[in-house]
Amino acid sequence: MFGKNKILVLTLGTVLVFVIYFLSKNAVLQKSVDDLATD
């Protein structure tokens, strides 16, 4: 039982990290575009 839960937690954690990484990367890209537009 605990083994399955551990795998589930690891999977959710990995997905969460990927989502946060993607969102932050997207935000940085958006900021760069905004900076270019203001120049």
Say how far apart CA 31 and CA 1 lie, in whole Å.
Answer: 45
pLDDT given at position 1: 63
* The pTM of the whole model exceeds 0.75: no
Per-residue pLDDT tens digits of the chain, which is 39 residues long? 668 899 999 999 999 999 999 999 988 888 888 887 876
Query: One-letter amino acid identity for 13?
Result: G
**Per-residue tokens: 26:** 């997207």
